[in-house]
Amino acid sequence: MDGLLFRMRVAVLWVAVAVALVGSVALFVYEEGALEEMLAGMAEGEPLDDTALFMLTAFVLLPLVMVGVTLLLNDRLNRYVNVVVGSLLGLFGVFMGSGELLAGEIHWHVWPTALAIAFAFLIAGLGVVGLRQRSSPDVTDSVSPVR
């Protein structure tokens, strides 16, 4: 895959991750009783302290930062960074979402989060595929025409 094509695809996917996460937060606020609970300083039984707000902000801003990183880094380092960050964000999302699944409570805000997790793993997969293509020798380069 061409370097510029990879960058554009991954940048659009990072924007989709950010939009899905913001949509998840918006759906969470509109759930019944969630706004009152947040005004009381709690969210899903957990206290809303500075650490929780920082984590929520970082979870939403990280994909937007990755758009810039994807467009600015050189090709090989770009693919490595996208593999690592996409995998970590996807695993963190699975870890956070598994609590809701284990509790047996699936709310509407889980679905955009699941979409964001899928996009994050897709980004990591595109990076792995790109690294494998770059590391394997091109067959057309090694074959000389027969005369």
- DSSP tag of 137: P
**pLDDT of the residue at 138:** 57
**pLDDT of the residue at 141:** 46
CB-CB contact of 105 with 58 (8 Å): no
**pLDDT of the residue at 142:** 46
Is residue 97 exposed (0-12), middle (13-18) or buried (19+ Cβ within 10 Å)?
A: middle
d(CA 110, CA 116): 10
Residue 131, CA distances (Å) to 73, 77, 79, 120, 125 in order: 15, 10, 7, 17, 10
In tens digits, what is the pLDDT along the chain, a chain of 147 residues? 678 899 999 999 999 999 999 999 888 888 888 888 888 888 877 888 888 888 888 888 999 999 999 999 998 899 999 999 999 999 988 988 787 777 777 777 888 989 999 999 999 999 999 888 877 665 454 444 555
Q: What angle do CA 136, 141, 147 make, to 5 degrees?
A: 145
Chain centre to alpha carbon of residue 118: 8
d(CA 129, CA 131): 5
Residue showing tokens 């997790």:
117
Backbone angles phi, psi at 46, to 5 degrees: -105, 145
Residues contacting residue 105 through CB under 8 Å, at least 6 positions apart: none
